[in-house]
Chain A
Amino acid sequence: MRPEMTAAPVETGPKSSSERSALARARLLRGLLPALSLVLVLLAIAWLNPRAISYFGFSLMLNLAIPIALATIAQMFVIAGNELDLSIGTFVGFVGCVTATWLKDAPLVGVAILLGSIGVYALLGALIHLRNLPSIVVTLGMSFVWQGLAILILPKPGGKAPDWLLSLMAFKPPFVPFPIIAALLIAAVVHFGLMRTSYGVILRGSGGNAAALSRAGWSLLKTKVVLFALTGLFGVLSGMALIGITTSGDANIGNGYTLLSIAGVILGGGEFVGGRVSPIGAVIGALTLALSASPLLTFMHIPPDWQVAANGAILIIVLAARVLISRRER
C-alpha cells in the first residue's frame, strides 16, 4: 500500500462552516458504512424472506457467526500492527482438532496444548520483529505447520466436542439469539481493550508510527509479541467455538477462515497499514459476511455455482461505496 493512500487529508486552509459540516458528515458516513452494509443485507433478507427475521431464523442464519467474528478479531490484531496472518484458517482447524480430541479426553493436556499454541504465536511475533521478517511468508509457512499438526492429531474427520462446550454454544437466552449477544460481547470487550485503554493505544500506535513509539521508549518487540499472542488467543477461541457448533473436528474445517477474516477486517473499516482498525467494525464485517455468505444468496435463489462470485461482488460493492464516501471527505 502506498503511504499516501492512507494518509489523512491535509488541511489546506481555513474552511467555511458548511464545508466543515459536510466533511464531518462524510466522516460519520464512512464510520457508519460497515453498519450500513449490514443493515442493507438484513433488509434484503427481510424483503426476500420475512420469516427469516425471527428468533429462530437469526439463530440459524448466524450459526457460524461467532467463530467467524472471533477469527476476524484475531486477524484484526495482527493487521493493527501492519502484519498479516495467512495461517489463521489452518490454525482454527488445528485448534478444532485439539478441542475435539485432547480437550475432551484429557482436558489438562488439551489446555496445555492450546496455551502452548498461543505461546507459539507470541514467539512468531518476536521472531518477525527481531529478524525483520515478512509476516506474510512466515505465516504462510506456519499455515502448513498447523495443517500438518491437525492432520497428525485427527487424520480423519471425527472426535467430539467437550460437553461443556456443546452446552455453551447451544445456549438459548430469552428474546435475543445467542450469536447476537456473543457478537455484542466480543465487540464490546475488544473495543474497550484496544480503543479505550492506554496500552491499546500503544498497540495501535505500533502500526501507526513505530519509529515514534520506539523513540518514546516503548518496546516494539513487546507490542508485536502482545499483538501476535492476542491473535493466537482469539484464534483458539474461534476454533473452540467452531467445534462447539459442528460438534466434531476436521483438519480442513477452518481453511476458508483466512480469507474470510481478512475480508471481515477490511469490510469493517480496517486498513492494512497505519494501525487503523475497528473492533466493532470487524465484528460487523464478520456478521455481514456470515449473513451474505449463504442465507442471503439462498433466499435470492442464486445457484451455488455463483455464490462465491456473489461474495466477491458484495466485497467490491462495499469498497466502492467507501471510495465514493472518501472522495467527498477530501
Chain B
Amino acid sequence: MASLRLLLAKPWIWSFIGALLVWLATVAFTGGYGGGGMITAALSLAVFTVIVGVGQMFVITLGPGNVDLSLPANIGLASAVAMKVMDGNDSMIAVGLLAALACGMAIGAANYLLIWALRIPPIIATLSASFIIQSIDISYGRGLQIKPPPGFADFTNRQILGIPVLAILTVLFTIGAAIALQRMIYGRSVLAIGQNIRAAWLAGVNVGRIRFLTYTLSGALGGLDGALLAGYFRGANVDIGNEYLLASIAVVVIGGTSVAGGKANVPGVWGAALFLVLLLTMLNTFGVSAGVRLLLTGLIIVGVITAAGGQKALR
C-alpha cells in the first residue's frame, strides 16, 4: 500500500495511466481485436517522439524561455543529409548516421552561438535559425527521392517478439539519459542552472559550457531522429519533422517536467509519447473526422495539463 502511494506520487505515473486508459478504451471499442498490434505500432511511432522529447527536455530544464524551436527544420535537413550520404548503399549506413548526427550537432551549436553572441531569447534564436535551416533543406533536398538502404529500412522496422528493436534501443538510451540527468555532473549542472542560473554560476558551474552542450545535444538528437525517420518512412522529406515541434514540447510537459526549469523527468517522456500516439490511434479507430480528432487532441492536452496542475513557478 505504501509503495503504491509512493508510485502514485511520481509525476510520470499519470502519463502511463493515461496511455493505459486510452489503450483500454480502444481495445474495448474493437472488442479485444488488435490490442497487441496497437502496442507494437505505438512503440514504433513513440520512439521518434521520445528521442527529440529527451533533447527538448534537457533544453527546457535549463529554465524559463529555453526551448528548441529548430527541431522540425533540423529533423528535415538531417533526414535529407542521411539519405544523400547513404545513397541507398548498405555499407554507408554508419557514415550516413554520423553525418546526420554531425549535421544536428552543428545546428545545435549554431543555435547556442546565436543565443550567446546576440544575447537573444532562445525562442527567437532557434526560430530564426529554423527559418534558415528550412531554406537550406528546401534547396538541398529538392526532388530528393533516394530510398534508404534496404538494411537501414529493415533495421528501423525490425521487431523481436512484437517489440520494435528501435524501441528497445531507445529505452536503453533513455535509461542512459536518466542516469546522466540524476547521477552525472552534466545533468546535475543542467538542473542547477534551471533552478537558479545565478546560484549555479556562483557555485562554480560553467553555465556557458553546460548550455552549449545542452543545445548541441538537442540538435544531435534531432539529427539522429531525422535519419531514423527517413529510414522508417522510406525516404527524406522537408516536412518530415513538422509534427515534432508540438509533440516534443507536449511530451516533456505532460511527462511531468517543469516548464519553469530545474525539474526534469525522463520516464514521463515515454509515458506521454505513448499516450499521444495511442490517443491518435484511438481517435482513428473510432473513425472520427480530422476536425474532431484535432479538437479532441487539443482538449485532452489542455485537460491533462490542467489536471496535472502547475507547479509553483520558480520565477
In whole angstroms, what is the CA distance A98 to B92 when docked? 52
Q: Is the CB of B259 within 8 A of A152?
A: no
B121 contacts across to A, CB distance below 8 A: 1, 266, 271-272
Question: Smallest CB-CB separation from B198: which chain A residue?
Answer: A4
In whole angstroms, what is the CA distance A160 to B268 when docked? 46
B123 contacts across to A, CB distance below 8 A: 84, 262, 272
In whole angstroms, what is the CA distance A305 to B310 when docked? 42
Q: Is the CB of A132 within 8 A of B294?
A: no
Q: Is the CB of B296 within 8 A of A148?
A: yes
Interface check A315, CB cutoff 8 A: yes
Q: Is the CB of B124 within 8 A of A1?
A: no
A145-B299, A316-B118 are contacts. A1–B65 as well, Cβ < 8 Å? yes
In whole angstroms, what is the CA distance A306 to B138 when docked? 8
Q: Quote the shortest CB–CB distance from A83 to chain B (angstroms).
A: 11
Number of interface residues of B (CB under 8 A): 55
A272 contacts across to B, CB distance below 8 A: 65, 121, 123
Question: Smallest CB-CB separation from A133: which chain B residue?
Answer: B310
A137-B301, A308-B138, A319-B120 are contacts. A145–B294 as well, Cβ < 8 Å? yes
Question: Smallest CB-CB separation from B254: which chain A residue?
Answer: A137
In whole angstroms, what is the CA distance A146 to B298 when docked? 8
Q: Quote the shortest CB–CB distance from A265 to chain B (angstroms).
A: 10
Question: Smallest CB-CB separation from A149: which chain B residue?
Answer: B295
A146 contacts across to B, CB distance below 8 A: 298
Q: Quote the shortest CB–CB distance from A117 to chain B (angstroms).
A: 14
A131-B306, A131-B310, A262-B127 are contacts. A141–B118 as well, Cβ < 8 Å? no
B65 contacts across to A, CB distance below 8 A: 1-2, 272-273
B142 contacts across to A, CB distance below 8 A: 305
Q: Is the CB of A5 within 8 A of B119?
A: yes
In whole angstroms, what is the CA distance A316 to B126 when docked? 10
Q: Is the CB of A144 within 8 A of B118?
A: no
In whole angstroms, what is the CA distance A32 to B289 when docked? 50
In whole angstroms, what is the CA distance A155 to B128 when docked? 32
> Could you mark each residue 127-146 of chain A with 1 if its beta carbon is under 8 Å from any beta carbon of chain B, else 0?
10001111011101111111
Interface check B217, CB cutoff 8 A: no
Q: Quote the shortest CB–CB distance from B273 to chain A (angstroms).
A: 15
In whole angstroms, what is the CA distance A3 to B315 when docked? 9
B118 contacts across to A, CB distance below 8 A: 316, 319-320, 323
In whole angstroms, what is the CA distance A133 to B310 when docked? 5
Q: Is the CB of A2 within 8 A of B127?
A: no
Q: Is the CB of A140 within 8 A of B292?
A: no
In whole angstroms, what is the CA distance A141 to B250 when docked? 8
A140-B250, A309-B131 are contacts. A148–B302 as well, Cβ < 8 Å? no
> Size range of the interface on A?
35 or more
Interface check A151, CB cutoff 8 A: yes
Interface hits, B210-238 → A, CB 8 Å: none
A132 contacts across to B, CB distance below 8 A: 309-313
> Could you mark each residue 33-68 of chain A with 1 if its beta carbon is under 8 Å from any beta carbon of chain B, else 0?
000000000000000000000000000000000000
B295 contacts across to A, CB distance below 8 A: 144-145, 148-149, 152
Interface check A108, CB cutoff 8 A: no
Q: Is the CB of B67 within 8 A of A152?
A: no
Interface hits, B75-119 → A, CB 8 Å: 114, 117-119
Q: Is the CB of A305 within 8 A of B135?
A: yes
Interface hits, B273-315 → A, CB 8 Å: 289-302, 305-306, 309-313, 315
Q: Is the CB of B298 within 8 A of A141?
A: yes
Interface hits, A134-173 → B, CB 8 Å: 134, 136-138, 140-152, 155
Q: Quote the shortest CB–CB distance from B51 to chain A (angstroms).
A: 20
Q: Is the CB of B124 within 8 A of A144?
A: no
Which B positions have Cβ atoms within 8 angstroms of A?
A: 63-65, 67, 114, 117-121, 123-124, 127-132, 134-136, 138-139, 142, 197-198, 246, 249-250, 253-254, 259-260, 289-302, 305-306, 309-313, 315
Chosen A-B contacts, 17 in total, with CB atoms closer than 8 Å, are: A1-B65, A1-B121, A3-B198, A3-B315, A131-B309, A137-B253, A138-B306, A144-B246, A147-B298, A151-B294, A152-B292, A273-B64, A308-B131, A310-B135, A315-B131, A319-B120, A319-B128
Given contacts A3-B198, A326-B119, 15 further A-B contacts (CB under 8 A): A1-B65, A132-B312, A137-B253, A137-B305, A138-B306, A141-B250, A141-B305, A145-B299, A146-B298, A152-B291, A272-B121, A272-B123, A306-B139, A312-B135, A316-B118
Closest 5 pairs between A and B when the two form their complex, measured CB to CB = A312-B131, A144-B298, A148-B295, A148-B294, A309-B135
